Amino acid sequence: MSQVYNWQLGREMSYPYEGKYPERQFAFVFNINRCIACQSCTMACKSTWTFSKGQEHMWWANVETKPYGGYPQFWDVKILDLLNQANPDGQTWGGLVSDNPKSLYGQFAGKTVFEAADKMLQPASSRVLGYLPPDEEWNSPNIYEDNPVGPKGVRYQFHQTGVELPVHNTWFFYLARICNHCTYPACLAACPRKAIYKRPEDGIVLLDQSECRGYRKCVEACPYKKSMYRGNTRVSEKCIACYPRVEGTDPETGGEPMETRCMAACIGQIRMQSLLQLNPDGTWAEDRYHPLYYLVHVAKVALPLYPQLGTSPNGFYIPPRWVPRTYLRQMFGPGVDRAMERYENPDRELLAVLQLFRRSNRIIFRYQIEEGPLVYEGPYRGKTVRIYNDTVIAFGKNGKEIFRTKVEEPLHVRPNKHQNSI
Ligand code: SF4
Ligand code: SF4
């Protein structure tokens, strides 16, 4: 095992290979507060990559209802439980949430899936703690859809006190997921054939099917269960991050880097994807006006999914603001309280950057804000808020403007020649 630096854990950790980092890293931010579970993303992916015989159970992109749902069923509960069995009561965080980009969330004191591998509790890969889900657990991409948590955690019942922020007593939320194209992929670490690799140009994690022999070590090892086995070809498959679009080689892109199919299809406008530059130790190179750098490292509203697992996932989430904080801290780490406070009280810049989501399918590499007039001033939850109609401008890889949009949404009145006009 080598020692590599994991900034999401705020410390070095063991990994089977030496740290090697791409020129740029594929990454994304999902704003859970906006997801409506329309499953347009799920179907965009399915109809592009997994529509063939033998792929019926495969949903590289899926949206599940938390806390009861999961695809495969109970994937997160199961891996958290295995880690807890391997390290009873030791899966805790220490240190302080800080502004240090090398330890934003303090320091994880527990064991990752790599560090707990010597405590295997069932026959499995020797490099990564994991498990192989039985076939039936892959059957439903959104099992327990819309099932809320009621009083004292009881299912199917509504809490008598109704609903009021900051935390709802009856709650559920939608968790959209794809492969995280991790900085330290567990799938890659576990593959005895070295069939899985991380591309040096964009960090996208690919599985070479000509090298795969179907041992399913990647399926067992990926804690997010985003590597999947196909019975009729007897090899595994996984999300390829629509790499021809990201490269700009897909005919639809016109040569410009374009976001993946699941991002482009998102009706709720919850998704933004880009490529980031890394430092020699795998931390993010400072890029103040890159929208993802801003959301993760400056505003700190977007957090990694289960950072304690140790793969350094490159998928980040703005957590749902109505959900009990204890649940969110388990899922997104100790940065939750700071992220929620900031998201609920957005400043001028955050409000402008949030408008960048899904105005274009081109990948945004930089933004700029032009100040506009004050359009609202008034009380909001005990504070005075001011909203300015700023303009936010998005630039592509070549530095050219992609689009510009304003904080205030445009109002269109349909002329009364249309039947459904007011
Ligand atoms: S999410 Fe899973 S399949 Fe994707 S790179 Fe990470 S470990 Fe591999
Ligand atoms: S398309 Fe967007 S809003 Fe719809 S389910 Fe997917 S992530 Fe959620």
pLDDT score of 361:
96
- Closest ligand 2 atom number to CA of residue 265: 1
Whole-angstrom distance, CA of residue 192 vs CA of residue 243: 25
Instruction: From 76, 222, 305, give the residue whose CB has the most ligand 1 atoms within 8 Å, as the site to mutate.
Output: 222
**Residue with CA closest to ligand 2 atom 6:** 41
pLDDT for 409 equals: 86
The confidence score (pLDDT) of residue 120 equals: 63
User: Which of helix, strand or coil describes residue 79?
Assistant: helix
C-alpha–C-alpha distance, residues 152 and 329, integer Å? 18
Using CB distances shorter than 6 Å, the residues near ligand 2 are: 35-41, 63, 176, 265-268, 270-271
The pTM of this model reads 0.95
| Gap from CA of 43 to ligand 2 centroid (Å) | 10
Predicted local distance difference test score (pLDDT) of residue 124: 52
pLDDT given at position 43 = 98
DSSP for 207-246?
A: E-TTT-----HHHHH-TT--EEEETTTTEEEE--TTHHHH
pLDDT beneath 70: ranges in the chain: 120-125, 153, 162, 421-422
Alpha-carbon span 26 to 49, nearest angstrom: 19
User: Residue 68 CA to chain centroid, in angstroms?
Assistant: 19
Ligand 1 neighbour 241 (Cβ under 6 A):
no
Please work out whether the CB of residue 290 comes within 6 Å of at least one atom of ligand 1.
no
| Distance from residue 218's CA to the centre of ligand 1 (Å) | 8
Separation CA 255–CA 362 (nearest Å):
10
Q: Counting ligands in written order, which one lies closest to the CA of residue 315?
A: 1
Tell me, what's the pLDDT at 380?
A: 85
pLDDT digits (tens, 9 = 90+) for 341-370: 999 999 999 999 999 999 999 999 999 999
* CA of residue 67 to ligand 2 center, whole Å: 18
Angle at 123 between CA 118 and CA 125, to 5 degrees: 60
Nearest protein CA to atom 2 of ligand 1, as residue:
222
Q: Work out the angle at residue 41's Cα, subtended by the Cα atoms of residues 36 and 46, and round it to the nearest 5 degrees.
A: 140
SS3 (DSSP) at 354: helix
Evaluate whether 127 touches 114 at the Cβ level (below 8 Å): yes
Render pLDDT for 370-404 as a digit per residue (tens, 0 to 9): 999 999 999 988 889 999 999 999 999 999 999 99
Tokens of 40: 């347009």
